[in-house]
Amino acid sequence: MRAGGHRARVIYGSPAEPAAHSAAVSSAAVYSAAVRLREIGSSHGMRHLAATLADGREAFVKQAVGGSRAGELAAEANGLRWLAEGGPVPVPAVLSVDEDTLVIEMLPPGAPTAAAARELGAGLARLHAAGAPAFGAPWPGYIAGLPLPNDSGTAWPGWYAEHRILPYARMARDRGGLSAADVSLVETVADRVAELAGPPEPPARLHGDLWSGNILWCTVGKTATAWLIDPAAHGGHRETDLALLALFGAPFRAEIAAAYQSVTPLAEGWRERVPLHQLHPLLVHACLYGAAYAPRVREAARAALDGGS
């Protein structure tokens, strides 16, 4: 989610696999091996630090503030490992993960290019095509520090309404971000998702929070590449990732979309369905940042309904 500050980059760490990976060691061990630490930002109750390890490697440290965030860190780790298994879009490597700290490799900075954007678009299409067993995920999810229901489902419209639209509309109302009338409008969309969603799609392997800040553009030598970071990964509708790219804008977005279409074209009318897929992240923002996002929630809800008329 859009919240400013540097974003974490991590992989591995499954609730079903406490050791996470045979090559991973405890975060405390890696963290204590740092010969230099520098705080570089924060986001959603996490400190972000740049570290130089004793062996000379540069690392990025994400550390929970005020107690364990084991579930949240495990969800992020599980998501990146799952995306890595999908293959075509790179994710950073983990050095360690535990209940309150992630330590990962520091990637070289770079700038977006049209060629890297085309590579990302084609890779994203192939990542989605890697698929998922169901809508949802086998681990409890999080997005921007908020719990993200990942109960599995076999039909996207009902799953999206139950696990992505309604919980956040009601949370935003309870936190003062939306009015009762706003929630009623959003509930109308939830009631009509099946007719608004377009042709049925199988579960795609999604990043799940693919706004532009979660694409890290890196340059090695003269080659620029787009890496994915900070996922809320799950099996979902592939139009969701593309709609998120449009939410706050992304460099070379037209090139990303064109390359995606060249690999696995989206169903007719996908552009009209963008507001439907943007409704969930906008509701998350209303939960986090309050009534400032209410107008955008209303706009997306009305556009979603208009797109299905």
Q: Is residue 2 part of a domain?
A: no
Q: Which of 105, 140, 156 is the last residue of a domain?
A: 105
pLDDT at 108: 87
Task: Give the number of domains in the chain.
Answer: 2
Residue 243 and residue 226 share a domain: yes
Residue 138 and residue 89 share a domain: no
**284/204 Cα distance (integer angstroms):** 21
Positions annotated as catalytic residues are 209
**Alpha carbon of 63 to those of 40, 46, 97, 180: distances in Å?**
12, 5, 10, 37
**236/215 Cα distance (integer angstroms):** 19
Residue 35 and residue 63 share a domain: yes
Residue 119 and residue 73 share a domain: no
pLDDT along the chain (309 residues), means of 10: 37 29 50 76 85 86 82 86 91 81 84 97 98 96 95 97 98 98 98 97 97 92 91 97 95 97 97 98 98 98 86
Residue 255 and residue 129 share a domain: yes
CATH number at residue 42: 3.30.200.20
Nearest one of 89, 180, 78 to 136, comparing CA atoms: 78
Residue 204 and residue 179 share a domain: yes
Q: What is the pTM for the complete model shown?
A: 0.87
**Alpha carbon of 78 to those of 44, 142, 283: distances in Å?**
19, 11, 24
pLDDT at 32: 66
pLDDT at 30: 64
**93/10 Cα distance (integer angstroms):** 7
Q: Which amino acid is residue 140, in one-letter code?
A: P
Site of tokens 């409008």 = 185
Structural domain range at position 55: 27-105
Burial class (CB in 10 A: 0-12, 13-18, 19+), 309: exposed
